Amino acid sequence: MAGRGRSRVWREVGMVCMMVMLSAMVERVTGLIVAKDGSGDFMKLTEALNAASPGTRIIVKPGEYREKVVVTTPNIVLIGTPGQSVIVQGESSNSAGSTLLSATFTVKAKATGFVAMGMVFKNDYGRNDEPGEQAVAAAVMADSSFYNCQFIGWQDTLYAKKGRQYYKDCYIEGSVDFAFGAATAQFVDCVLYAKRRGSLTIASYTAQQRLSSTDTNGYVFIGGQLKCDAGVRALLGRAWGKFARTVFIKVAMDNCIDPKGWSSVGDSNWGTTSFSAEYQCTGPGADRSGRVSWSKVLTDEEAAYFSSPTFLGGSRSPPGGTTAVSSTPAPTKAPLEARSESAPSSEYFSISDEDLGSVAGPSSYEDLEPPSSEWIPMSMGSDDDQL
């Protein structure tokens, strides 16, 4: 009898364990839902992230969520309704203590494998009536990918700080250096929109921070558009590090591009040591006749390298090295309306195995499977911003 009793107990324990496992599997498949009206699992994204485990899919229903969000869990998939799921906060700039502390949305280095789709990240500090300070909409420090997302701010909108990052069909808006940092990043078919702030009519799309010639990071823009408010004159980039690396490949450039194209932040000599390059860009802003002498034109081979997953994989340089560049010249609205015309579509873009990915799926965000735990994990060192 005692033996049969123990057997029954173990069967019951086994059934409980199986139920727990099935419950966990169901939660992994269904994920979590955030809805302001209380119809989901949580009313705030921060609460959902606190409850999430690695690989959790979080669906954010339409609405404006005014909160400051920090992601620390690996392999989170964040799915919104394009243009309608908005994470926003204001009155926060670097006067809060640092550039990172100003961010509306932060992906910490330990949160590798983060994916966002159809989300809007916004920092509304720094409008015309406020002083010009860094006010970050999103700060990203981990291997991440963003699809059909919008990043809206004024000064320093997107802090692509470090890690390997991939942006597809995204929209980035600001007035000064609004894509900046030292990440290894590709921006594919994205729209960058430079807007006027008060009397400030000089803008800069990027400020890349590669500090050493052996660093593998850099920003590469492939396809997409560069657009501006009327009356704004925008630089393609300002070197924020001695060896800053920024490349534009087949990008359509409006006539608001400053003819010289490029500049530097701080040391005026950084231009000559940076890698500031273009390749087969189009539109009136692509005319290179007035470009600074140290800007470059990629060869076909270099363009193929920077456009490939090899660059995101951390290769130090394209075949032949980054200094062997051709000197042959490349071929040569109102904000709200411009944004609505050029904002990303709601179409879902899956991530191929060659592009950073283990996230692939059908035509609906809500049918998306979570990424695998093997999504290019990467040690980021011991910086305190991993915490």
Q: How many helices (H) and strands (E) does the chain have?
A: 6, 28
What is the amino acid identity at position 256? C
**How deeply is 270 buried, as exposed, middle or buried, from its count of CB atoms within 10 A (0-12, 13-18, 19+)?**
buried
C-alpha torsion sign, points 384, 178, 180, 150: positive
The pair phi, psi for residue 102, each rounded to 5°, is -80, -10
CA–CA distance, 56 with 147 (Å, rounded to integer): 17
Structure token digits, residue 42: 């949580």
DSSP-assigned letter for residue 38: S
DSSP-assigned letter for residue 121: E
Q: How far apart are the first and last CA of the chain?
A: 55
Strands 245-249 and 218-222: parallel
CA dihedral 97, 152, 149, 30 (to 10 degrees): 60
Structure token digits, residue 289: 């006749």
Q: Is 31 left (phi over 0), alpha (psi -120 to 50) or beta?
A: left
Task: State whether residue 335 is helix, strand or coil.
Answer: helix
Active-site annotation, residues: 156, 177
C-alpha torsion sign, points 360, 361, 366, 367: negative
